[in-house]
Structure 1
Amino acid sequence: MDRSDLPVLILHTGNPNAKLSERFGGYAHFMQAAAGLDDDDVHIVPVYKGARPLAPQHYRAALITGSPANVTDHDAWGEETAVWLRQAAQDELPMFGICYGHQLLAHALGGRVDYNPAGREVGTRQLECSADDPLLEGLPRAFPVQTMHEQTVVELPPGARSLAATAMDGNQLLRMSPNIVSSQFHPEFAVDFMREHLGLYADVYAREKIDAGQLAGELRDTPESASLLRRFLQLYASRAPLAA
């Protein structure tokens, strides 16, 4: 099926708090900017508000955002989105999920999500790549990524494999099928957003013995991570044929 003239779907699953959203925009905006997509090339569907996407054949790819929700809450909108993701996978639609989107894809395809036994992971972490993959071609075997999660994929879906890990999470980047990839880390987050978030939630993190001030001082730019959404679309959902 030739999908090259179709839009990219962004399944919008939630936003940061109101203060962060007012300053930086919502997670769908983050995803669109990181993917390098124009407004007329995306169909943003706020599934967390009850909106529903068209059938998978109406898109050339789907991107699933992060969310303040937890997959283990089994919200009705999340479970309905998981059904759509299973159908999209059967239809071989290219898909990339981030954080909650990563976990929801794993849940939809037969994996299991739960709280990370290692605890909450937040801040800039070093990603160690453990497998060769087309998405990672030309990138260093280790590079920094932005993290912000307390749940993770604890059991992979059938046929999935882990491509990269951090010290706190062995399933940071998953290849779920020939055209489905997902990341627990956030390719779409920049340092300024991370710093503001850490400042706003310093008291919350302190109760978990996490020093938000120290983490803020250790933040780094993550250019390799930031390239992944564009790489993914170029590989699996480009409007133009790939160069020979």
Structure 2
Amino acid sequence: MRIGILQCGQSPAQLKDSLGDYPDMFVRLLGGRGFDFDIWHVEGMEFPDDITAADGWLLTGSRHGAYEDHAFIPPLEDFIRRTYAGGVPMVGICFGHQIIAQALGGTVVKHSDGWAVGTQDYDFGGQQVQLNAWHQDQVVTLPQGAKVAGRNAFCENAALIYDDRAFTVQAHPEFKDEFVQGLMDTRAKGVVPLELLAQAASRMGQASGSTLLADRIEAFFKQPRALSRPDAQGAA
């Protein structure tokens, strides 16, 4: 199965050589599961020619806000809507989670309660999962058809499922602890409160849910789907 990675942001320059860029992290996370990967740097205005250029799409994180004025956001939202109508499965992580919700009619805001940084505890349908996170923005209004698949007290809409069309997660199963530490060293100064950084440092090594999320992403992509949808006309 061929997965198209839509790269919506970039790893800090200081971390790329040693820890990789965002697509590298997803290739590692989902390696050995029967997937092949192609990458489009949509933040740099590189888009697929057609929604069927891959069997499924994975939208990465980004330092940008989904609600901000960037050239790549309107065509990305259009691609998301056409992909959704065409029934090609999408997975969104952090910014990917947010931009899919926004493109389909939801609302994303800079959350008044501040940041989630480092290991966070989530409830996925009664299953407790620990994942690394790095975000202030949140989905606060769900699009039609979206259902909550994971949450915690800080982030009510931490994972969403849109029947068999999209599965999105606010946290970062692809982030290893050393990358979170790298973000703390390169992007957090003067932005993230010191007490949150200290809390994140104290929980290093506890984000044990990456394999579980990789299992869920694999299962979502590989589940049987109808060959065509009644709303797919003109989606290509």
* TM-score normalised by L of structure 2: 0.86
Q: Which whole-Å CA distance do the structure 2 matches of 1:141 and 1:82 have between them?
A: 32
Note the C-alpha offset of 1:14.
1.0
CA deviation after TM superposition for structure 1 residue 202, in Å: 4.8
Please state if 1:217 is matched with 2:202.
Answer: yes
Residue 177 (structure 1) aligned to one of 146, 163, 183? 163
2:180 corresponding residue in structure 1: 194
Deviation at 1:17, TM superposition (A): 1.4
Alpha-carbon RMSD across the aligned residues, in angstroms, is 2.3
Aligned-partner Cα distance in 1 for 2:187–2:221: 37
Going by fraction, where is helix more abundant, 1 or 2? 1
Residue of structure 2 equivalent to 1:163? 149
Unaligned 5+ segments in structure 2 are 225-236
State the Cα deviation string for residues 167-216 of structure 1 (Å, max 9, x = none): 2110111112323110000010111111222233453246x353423421
Q: Aligned with 2:156: secondary structure?
A: strand
Residue 229, structure 1, aligned to residue 214, structure 2: yes
Runs of 4+ in 1 over 4 A off after TM superposition: 37-40
Q: Is the 8 A contact 1:103 1:153 kept in 2?
A: yes
Q: How does 1:97-112 map to 2 (within 5 A)?
A: 97-112=92-107
Tell me the number of residue pairs that the alignment of Structure 1 and Structure 2 aligns. 224
Contact 1:9 1:45 in 2 (8 A): yes
Judged with a 3 Å threshold, the aligned counterparts in structure 2 of structure 1 residues 75 and 177 are, in CA distance, closer, same or farther, namely farther
Helix, strand or coil for the counterpart of 1:223? coil
CA deviations over 1:69-122 (Å, ceiling 9, x no partner): 111113121110110011001111111000000001001111111111221111
Structure 1: gaps of 5 or more residues: 132-139, 240-244
2:28 alignment counterpart: 33
Task: Tell me, in whole angstroms, the C-alpha distance in 1 between the residues paired with 2:26 and 2:123.
Answer: 23
User: Is the contact between residue 34 and residue 230 of structure 1 (CA under 8 Å) also seen in structure 2?
Assistant: no
Identity %: 26
SS of the aligned residue for 1:198 comes to: helix
Compute the displacement of 1:238 (Å).
7.3
Alignment TM-score, normalising by the size of structure 1 = 0.84
Equivalent position of 1:94 in the other structure = 89
